[in-house]
Amino acid sequence: SKPSCKWQRVLLKVSGEALAGDHTQNIDPKITMAIAREVASVTRLGIEMLQVAIVVGGGNIFRGSSWAGSGGLDRSSADYIGMLATVMNAIFLQATMESIGIPTRVQTAFRMSEVAEPYIRRRAIRHLEKGRVVIFAAGTGNPFFTTDTAAALRCAEINAEVVLKATNVDGVFDDDPRRNPNARLLDTLTYQDVLSRDLSVMDMTAVTLCQENNIPVVVFNVTKSGNISRAILGERVGTLVGG
């Protein structure tokens, strides 16, 4: 019998921070290659109907909120620069994936037709059905939002079953593990836990969108080898929110 999987369609969120690793130049090619290899390893298992979409962040290059106000830069303009940063990451990740034979399409939330396809929901779904990895870039296309919110939004739009949030920590802790050595890693959480205890999973807009649409979120450590494939295959990894 064919191998099976908990999910059929997943939305992997890769933050800019995750892409940067400890590289001094914004993107660590070892990390993009590691991500590509892990995605390849699961999509090549021959699991029928296992589809992977990706939302990339841009914080490794430009984060609108931290630049707004500098040199007269208003928040909206800063956020447009931030969204452009996600396109750079998307193209890098696409090139890496295609270099090892994974068919991909990049779709941007605002038009850059010479560079990538515009976001067209039905077309994105068609690509997924054909076994292509779809990378969503430029966030939601709107300032004042984040790529976590874009991940929740695209997940809901394309009827993906889960947001897999790749981070640099093992999951959600009850306190900051960098300051408190006794901080405990939490296995499961409700959306309400996240919102009321202000746990740093995703921003509130993203959490609320997931809650309203019953989208579980798995927060896991991308720097540990094998974790992306585990998360995609629905194995227990990191912290499960909702679900």
Question: What is the rounded CA–CA span in Å between residue 137 and residue 115?
Answer: 11
Of 63 and 127, nearer to ligand UDP (C-beta) is: 63
* Stretch in the footprint of ligand UDP (CB under 6 A) among 14-22, 35-43, 182-190, 217-225: 14-22
* Stretch in the footprint of ligand UDP (CB under 6 A) among 21-29, 146-154, 162-170, 181-189: 146-154
For position 227 contacting ligand UDP by CB under 6 A, the verdict is: no
Q: How far is the CB of 44 from ligand UDP (least distance, A)?
A: 27
> Tokens in use for 198?
């202000």
| Chain centroid to CA 147 | 8
**Between the CA of residue 29 and those of 88, 97, 151, 224, 230, what are the distances in Å?**
13, 11, 23, 16, 21
Of 73 and 95, nearer to ligand UDP (C-beta) is: 73
| Per-residue mark of binding to ligand UDP, 72-101 (x: CB under 6 A) | ------xx--xx-xx---------------
For position 143 contacting ligand UDP by CB under 6 A, the verdict is: yes
Q: How far apart are the two ends of the chain, measured CA to CA in Å?
A: 28
Question: What is the rounded CA–CA span in Å between residue 181 and residue 19?
Answer: 26
Among 94, 104, 107, 140, binds ligand UDP (CB under 6 A): 140
Question: What is the rounded CA–CA span in Å between residue 189 and residue 191?
Answer: 7
Cβ atoms within 10 A of the Cβ of 122, count?
8
How would you class 112 by CB atoms within 10 Å of its CB: exposed for 0-12, middle for 13-18, buried for 19 or more? middle
Q: How far is the CB of 47 from ligand UDP (least distance, A)?
A: 27
Among 7, 10, 11, 16, binds ligand UDP (CB under 6 A): 16
Cβ atoms within 10 A of the Cβ of 28, count?
17
* Stretch in the footprint of ligand UDP (CB under 6 A) among 2-10, 53-61, 156-164, 183-191: 53-61
- Note the residues at the interface with ligand UDP (CB under 6 A): 15-17, 57-59, 63-65, 78-79, 82-83, 85-86, 139-140, 142-143, 145-150
